[in-house]
Chain A
């Protein structure tokens, strides 16, 4: 130390200690004055307040944000509901009051008593929620008997209301009570048990926007628990309104078309990746979740064989079947294992490694080039292309097309799909890849799996000059006042790794499927709207030689159809899967066609239900 303090004599400090003592005295005088003010001047008033225990805190819930479709149609709003609460402290004779209340609420008074007893330990001045969402008549009866029911109070609370129950159920999702684990996780500061949060769909994904912040009031209540005076108020901040990219009419049309079958239909705008419709069938009614779902309803939802709670458009993984030939064609042309003029002879099957790999057309297609192979969905042509490519080159192209990975739409539990490679198989099963498996994979069977959303986006990219977009479901977020908080912008996810020439050939091929004389999707053809598309039929079980055997319904193949329209400057791309629908052309194609019609003609003819399940030939 530099010795900046020179003398060893501490006497210099002594006068300062006296100064410190005076300062301490002054501060104590301040404390005493405050104490006398509180206890003598304000004493009477505070004594009165303490005797009634009359200052209470009330939470004011924020209204949850609305959910609207791209045209501003309200999908989810809030409606007032009436909840009955009871404050034991204010009741006097708890048994009598609950007895009378039980008659009005038509629930056994023992149940009410149990609820009150259960929460007794905490604090008698805290209101206990007895019954939620009572009807208007019960409300009138309780309000009329108000004087004889001390301690009983009715609160107006906002409750979620889905204006189109069953509609877009998987997209919108539902709310549920926040769980103890969620409260503990610290992700939801400011929430108390009993509060609702989004549990599924958009309600969950964008809960942060929708929820808002609660406000509250300090109130003074009288001996009956009625509010006499509001002391201080903090206004809640309402949740943000969110505007989806969904077109409600198209969504509803898709759901009508899927009625009675299990499956999914997705429509996206190829020019920006905005999701126009995301339908999954069967659906569920979101409104049954609003006040806590009844256990039997829940039971029937989770035990239903067609899994209504699953959003098949993003969670359903299906072998893409012949729709995958788009990928095989792109890869083959770009890797130059085939070209515009390459032809293969299809005799109805390909013999390879001691086995016959069949084409769907028993009598064979004859000599086909790439355009005809796509239009007529010749399996042999793509077996040969796949052989020349090998599984790993094919897998590289599939992944570059966005398959085998989540699209990033941000909804619940999106599936990845599956694109196999030789390394994957070695790792997964410990056995090397068999060349025969490449043949299956080349026509979208075997290990290949894709979600309807993935296939819709791939088709959109084919129609839109190879540009792949990340799917967007949230278009805009606004405050209640209409200020824009968030505005979506198209997010490019990548480009199809192919030349314009390659792309043109594939576009021509799938144009032929719909518009050619022998195209597999002839029945999708529309006179006024030019559609390009591809059918698919994906095996649930291996195809046996004795093909005429009876196949039980749950083992019948899934029907696929993917398309975009209008050709040239596509406004929408659609992917449809019908589980066990057998043929893409008959089961899935018409659904896609009707969706195209509904969206592009805008004024659809009166809802004509299609007999989509009825079998037909592809």
Chain B
């Protein structure tokens, strides 16, 4: 039977934030997709997203229905499965927009690079939770986590999906820095990176350098990414204080925005809801992230604690990178905005994340 304490400890606050964000997401996706002709086919996208949300709730419930301690035992098998899926993508993935990111399983298109984000958090949490020491980890203890991160990153770079690969590396780095790295080791790593980067740079061909510079600074590519950024900035800025009103966004309606229902969905919201709406959304995200961190804070078990920090960092980085990108603060990468962007794989990944956070939250007292 279900322990009564579990129901008592259920994180209703977190659920409320998620439901609010989900509602904002669905309304904004509706606006984004119906702006494009033909309306009927586009509306299908909206209904699909509703189904994804429903599935997400199921997946979320499943993710907190068992003790998260099980995940510690399953961390490595899950990781191996994810790696195999990534290899499968490289070998027979579905080509879309010049890169292979999907595996087709009947009608469902699976994007394993989404799952690996969670998997990397699991294996690192397991690895670093074997005890704590204030001195921090040294170079020798870092070899294994670095290899475990480099493998999926390499496979994702091949696809090629620089944005997701960078995100996985960023999450791994956040967790590692969180459990503390010895100062000596940190300096050593920083120094060797500083030495290697110029060397690798000099090996690159001119067009490769150009691509990286454009990636870091979209203004250098006024006809491609730079154009998208300026249109996105116009969309956000033109919302002014109160916005143009729901379904009234002109940048959105005239298809000036690229990928308006996935990567640039924040621009749609900011154009139609102005400062008020955008700040409200940012506030919701801030509360979500702080909630995740406070779950970690209250957790008494090192694995659960690091797990909660890792999952929260996953969500936090996606929010920062995506919103930063639409406002011209970040490189243009295909990172979706959690709970807002259209997309099955990303919605389900976020659902698992939320479920795991709830899991850690409601079982905080069950650990001796």
Q: Report A's interface with B, CB cutoff 8 A.
A: 1-10, 12-14, 16-18, 20-21, 24-25, 27-28, 30-32, 34-36, 38-40, 42-47, 49-51, 53, 55, 57, 59, 121, 123-125, 215-216, 218, 231-234
- For B219, the chain A residues whose CB sits under 8 A away are 232
Asked if B54 is an interface residue, CB under 8 A from chain A, the answer is no
Which of A6, A24, A39, A123 contacts B275 (CB under 8 A)?
A39
A39 CA to B127 CA, complexed, in Å = 45
Question: Could you list 21 examples of A-B contacts with CB < 8 Å?
Answer: A5-B128, A5-B130, A5-B132, A6-B133, A13-B132, A13-B309, A17-B296, A20-B178, A20-B309, A21-B293, A24-B290, A31-B327, A35-B279, A44-B240, A49-B238, A50-B271, A55-B234, A123-B255, A232-B219, A232-B226, A233-B222
- For B241, the chain A residues whose CB sits under 8 A away are 39-40, 43
A28 CA to B240 CA, complexed, in Å = 19
Kindly specify which of B4-12, B190-198, B300-308, B346-354 makes contact with the partner chain. B300-308
Taking a contact as CB atoms under 8 Å apart, the answer to whether B234 and A46 are in contact is yes
Taking a contact as CB atoms under 8 Å apart, the answer to whether B275 and A125 are in contact is no
Cβ distance A15 to chain B, nearest Cβ, rounded Å = 10
Taking a contact as CB atoms under 8 Å apart, the answer to whether B323 and A10 are in contact is no
* Chain B 276-303 near chain A by CB (<8 Å), digits 1 or 0: 0011001001100110011011011110
- For A53, the chain B residues whose CB sits under 8 A away are 250-251, 254, 256
Which of A4, A30, A32, A231 contacts B137 (CB under 8 A)?
A4
Contacts known (A20-B178, A121-B37); A35 close to B133, Cβ less than 8 A: no
A215 CA to B307 CA, complexed, in Å = 49
A233 CA to B141 CA, complexed, in Å = 51
Taking a contact as CB atoms under 8 Å apart, the answer to whether B178 and A4 are in contact is no
Contacts known (A4-B138, A43-B241, A234-B222); A16 close to B178, Cβ less than 8 A: yes
Taking a contact as CB atoms under 8 Å apart, the answer to whether A17 and B309 are in contact is yes
Taking a contact as CB atoms under 8 Å apart, the answer to whether B131 and A42 are in contact is no
Tell me the chain B residues, 4-47 only, with Cβ under 8 Å from chain A: 37
Taking a contact as CB atoms under 8 Å apart, the answer to whether A24 and B293 are in contact is yes
Taking a contact as CB atoms under 8 Å apart, the answer to whether B237 and A42 are in contact is yes
A16 CA to B134 CA, complexed, in Å = 11
Cβ distance A297 to chain B, nearest Cβ, rounded Å = 36
B327 nearest CB neighbor, chain A only: A34
* Chain B 205-222 near chain A by CB (<8 Å), digits 1 or 0: 000000000000001001
Asked if B316 is an interface residue, CB under 8 A from chain A, the answer is yes
Closest 9 CB pairs of A and B: A46-B237, A5-B131, A50-B238, A232-B222, A43-B240, A216-B223, A38-B237, A47-B238, A46-B238
Taking a contact as CB atoms under 8 Å apart, the answer to whether B223 and A234 are in contact is yes
- For A9, the chain B residues whose CB sits under 8 A away are 132
Cβ distance B34 to chain A, nearest Cβ, rounded Å = 15
A124 nearest CB neighbor, chain B only: B254
A9 CA to B306 CA, complexed, in Å = 13
Taking a contact as CB atoms under 8 Å apart, the answer to whether A218 and B178 are in contact is no
- For A24, the chain B residues whose CB sits under 8 A away are 286, 289-290, 293, 316
- For B327, the chain A residues whose CB sits under 8 A away are 31, 34-35, 38
Taking a contact as CB atoms under 8 Å apart, the answer to whether B286 and A28 are in contact is yes
A511 CA to B275 CA, complexed, in Å = 93
A16 CA to B323 CA, complexed, in Å = 26
A36 CA to B324 CA, complexed, in Å = 13
- For A5, the chain B residues whose CB sits under 8 A away are 128, 130-133, 137
* Chain B 304-346 near chain A by CB (<8 Å), digits 1 or 0: 0110010000001000100110010100000000000000000
Asked if B103 is an interface residue, CB under 8 A from chain A, the answer is no
Contacts known (A17-B296, A20-B293, A21-B293); A39 close to B132, Cβ less than 8 A: no
Count of A-B contacts judged by CB separation below 8 Å: 162
Q: Taking A10-B301, A57-B223 as given, write out 6 further A-B residue pairs in contact, using a Cβ cutoff of 8 Å, ordered by the A residue number.
A: A30-B329, A35-B275, A39-B239, A40-B241, A125-B254, A218-B226
Asked if B180 is an interface residue, CB under 8 A from chain A, the answer is yes
Which of B132, B231, B309 contacts A12 (CB under 8 A)?
B132
A233 CA to B138 CA, complexed, in Å = 50
Cβ distance A615 to chain B, nearest Cβ, rounded Å = 62
- For B127, the chain A residues whose CB sits under 8 A away are 1
Taking a contact as CB atoms under 8 Å apart, the answer to whether A123 and B240 are in contact is no
Asked if B116 is an interface residue, CB under 8 A from chain A, the answer is no
Asked if B274 is an interface residue, CB under 8 A from chain A, the answer is yes
Taking a contact as CB atoms under 8 Å apart, the answer to whether A4 and B133 are in contact is yes
Asked if B59 is an interface residue, CB under 8 A from chain A, the answer is no
A13 nearest CB neighbor, chain B only: B305
Which of B180, B256, B270, B282 contacts A16 (CB under 8 A)?
B180
- For B240, the chain A residues whose CB sits under 8 A away are 39-40, 43-44, 47
B285 nearest CB neighbor, chain A only: A28
Cβ distance B73 to chain A, nearest Cβ, rounded Å = 15
Taking a contact as CB atoms under 8 Å apart, the answer to whether A10 and B254 are in contact is no
- For B222, the chain A residues whose CB sits under 8 A away are 216, 218, 231-234
For A38, A40, A218, the residue with the greatest tally of chain B CB atoms inside 10 Å of its CB is A38
Contacts known (A38-B233, A47-B240); A10 close to B279, Cβ less than 8 A: no
A215 CA to B234 CA, complexed, in Å = 23
Taking a contact as CB atoms under 8 Å apart, the answer to whether A8 and B234 are in contact is no
Asked if B236 is an interface residue, CB under 8 A from chain A, the answer is yes
* Chain B 124-166 near chain A by CB (<8 Å), digits 1 or 0: 0001101111100110010000000000000000000000000
- For A35, the chain B residues whose CB sits under 8 A away are 236, 270, 275, 278-279, 282, 327
Cβ distance A208 to chain B, nearest Cβ, rounded Å = 14
B231 nearest CB neighbor, chain A only: A55
Which of A6, A28, A42, A124 contacts B132 (CB under 8 A)?
A6
Cβ distance A231 to chain B, nearest Cβ, rounded Å = 7
A57 CA to B227 CA, complexed, in Å = 8
A493 CA to B293 CA, complexed, in Å = 73
A18 CA to B296 CA, complexed, in Å = 10
- For A10, the chain B residues whose CB sits under 8 A away are 132, 299-302, 305
Contacts known (A42-B237, A216-B223); A8 close to B289, Cβ less than 8 A: no
Cβ distance A216 to chain B, nearest Cβ, rounded Å = 4
Asked if B57 is an interface residue, CB under 8 A from chain A, the answer is no
- For B320, the chain A residues whose CB sits under 8 A away are 27, 31
A24 CA to B316 CA, complexed, in Å = 8
Taking a contact as CB atoms under 8 Å apart, the answer to whether A45 and B297 are in contact is no
Cβ distance B242 to chain A, nearest Cβ, rounded Å = 10
A215 CA to B275 CA, complexed, in Å = 36
Taking a contact as CB atoms under 8 Å apart, the answer to whether A8 and B286 are in contact is no
Taking a contact as CB atoms under 8 Å apart, the answer to whether A39 and B131 are in contact is no
Taking a contact as CB atoms under 8 Å apart, the answer to whether A8 and B293 are in contact is no
A51 CA to B133 CA, complexed, in Å = 59
Cβ distance A181 to chain B, nearest Cβ, rounded Å = 16
Asked if B167 is an interface residue, CB under 8 A from chain A, the answer is no
Cβ distance B274 to chain A, nearest Cβ, rounded Å = 6
- For A12, the chain B residues whose CB sits under 8 A away are 132, 134
B306 nearest CB neighbor, chain A only: A13
- For A215, the chain B residues whose CB sits under 8 A away are 223
Cβ distance B31 to chain A, nearest Cβ, rounded Å = 16
Which of A3, A6, A31 contacts B324 (CB under 8 A)?
A31
- For B226, the chain A residues whose CB sits under 8 A away are 218, 232
- For B134, the chain A residues whose CB sits under 8 A away are 12
Cβ distance A235 to chain B, nearest Cβ, rounded Å = 12
Cβ distance A25 to chain B, nearest Cβ, rounded Å = 8
A233 CA to B219 CA, complexed, in Å = 11
Which of A14, A45, A123 contacts B237 (CB under 8 A)?
A45
